[in-house]
Structure 1
Amino acid sequence: MSDSSRDAVLARIRQGLAAGPALLPPRPDFAAPVHPPLSNSDVVVAFAERFQQVGGEFHYCETLADFAAQLAAFRERQQVGAPYVWEPDLQAVLRAAGIAFRAEETDFVASADLSLTSCEALVARTGSVLVSAATGSGRRLSIYPDQHLILARPSQVVAEIGDALRLLQASYGAAMPSMVSLTSGPSRTADIEKTLVLGAHGPRRIALFLLEEEEITVYN
């Protein structure tokens, strides 16, 4: 190293030492919220926005007749048959709405193109649907069919994942379900050659029908 280069390096070192130690970073506020505010103060609207952002199809249904019409339009677009529905409460709602469904398990593996289930909660932060094995749908109806439909109520929408888990604990106490799953949009992967593939590990399409409270509870 030449004398001029060494002098330049030493000059920068002296300049840095003269400036004193670097300032410490500000102390974090551990009491502040981890996440920013939701996209909308109405958690139902925030959920609908986020659910669609992650690839879900959202339908708001004011009445049973509205639900029946929107479900029929969905089936027409997707060219699918009647959904498999195994939960007695959901079956009662569908009967009241005049909606055909498949309650048996005959040929389920070969014909499971569409299912309809309930859910435990809806998370506005992530647009996720919390499902469990404790319902009559068990594990299969939310995972195996090609397309998964959910019927839910506005009161099931919560802001955060922690809120959803607390709802689950309040419902089941010590007898928690054997399987709990947070579903955020359709199943997808890009592991192979970075090509996005839908339906890799579960349904390739997920749609949610949010039906007003009184239109469901009257049949439960």
Structure 2
Amino acid sequence: MDTSTARRNILARIRAAQGRAPETAAGELEAVESYVASHPRGPRPPLPDDLVACFLERAQQMASTVDTVETLADVPAATYRYLHEQGLPVQAIAWQTLQDMQWAEAGITVEFRKPVDSDKVGLTGCYCAVAETGTLVLMSGAETYASAGLLPETHIAIVPASRIVGYHEDVFDLVRTERGGELPRATNFVSGPSRTADIEQSLVLGAHGPYRVHAIVVRGV
């Protein structure tokens, strides 16, 4: 069913109520395009100079757990330590981009594939992270499947310190600079474990995604 005529009529009535011409003038379109192209930003809260410390603090406030290591080589051992302390299985699925890391030497069995229902732990990297809200930004791709951070009960994300930005707006600045403004099929902003309070206003974790989110920040990259 074609609704374009009805839509034009509705918009024309709205414009008439505003005392404007029924059709959009060329000058109006140019003004809108200019506004969008300028990427204006509203007021933002001040952040400390140390974005890594800020991210760690805000992530914990969002019920994530955090750890820091110096190099990527330290990540497998830190992952094993976390799994062991939490009483979790030392088996995981992971993004294919993590194949070069020494998981077996650290005592973890890792398969580089998309998860199935029985997988309990998912390992991912991240596109970047946001200090303001303790948020992980994950972008899907052939080797970075979105399900790795959504289906398993425990999501462990590797966060390079150099990829921690201040604000959400900075994420889209990176996308414009590095990806020409093109987003993948799925872009997920993850701020702590999945949660809901729909049932009797009681907070329940893991309702629509991971029950645990653990971020390992790598200071040396």
Q: Which TM class, normalised by the smaller chain length?
A: 0.7 to 0.9
Amino acid at match of 1:36: P
Would you say 1:119 and 2:135 are equivalent positions?
no
- What's the RMSD between the two structures over aligned residues? 2.5
Tell me how far apart the structure 1 counterparts of residues 92 and 55 of structure 2 sit (CA, whole Å): 24
Alpha-carbon spacing, 1:187–1:116, altered in 2? closer, same or farther (3 Å): same
Q: Establish whether residue 47 from structure 1 lines up as the match of residue 55 from structure 2.
A: yes
Matched-pair contact (CA < 8 Å) for 1:152–1:210: yes
Provide closer, same or farther for how the CA distance between residues 168 and 32 of structure 1 changes in structure 2, counting only shifts above 3 A: closer
User: Hey, what's the Cα distance between the residues in 2 that align with 1:56 and 1:203?
Assistant: 11
Shift of 1:44: 1.0
**In structure 2, how many angstroms separate the alpha carbons of the residues matched to 1:36 and 1:127?**
14
Alignment of 1:1-220 (within 5 A): 34-38=43-47, 40-64=48-72, 66-78=74-86, 79-88=88-97, 90-95=98-103, 98=106, 100-105=108-113, 108-134=115-141, 136-173=143-180, 175-213=182-220
1:199 offset after TM fit, Å? 0.4
User: Structure 1 residue 33: deviation in Å?
Assistant: 6.6
Shift of 1:104: 5.0
Runs of 4+ in 1 over 4 A off after TM superposition: 95-99
Cα distance per residue 1:34-74 (max 9 Å; x no partner): 12212x32111111111111111110001456433321121
CA pair 99-163 structure 1, distance change in 2 beyond 3 A: farther
Q: Structure 1 stretch 138-147 or stretch 108-117: which is displaced more?
A: 108-117
Change (3 A) 1:164 1:44: same
| Other structure's SS at 2:132 match | coil
Alignment CA distance shift 1:160-1:64 (3 Å) = closer
CA distance in 2, matches of 1:209, 1:99: 17
Output the CA distance in 1 between the equivalents of 2:112 and 2:133. 33
In structure 1, stretches of 5+ residues that fail to align are 1-30, 215-220
| Bigger CA radius of gyration | 1
Q: Gapped runs of 5+ residues in structure 2?
A: 1-39
Percent of aligned positions that are identical: 31
TM-score normalised by the chain length of structure 1: 0.74
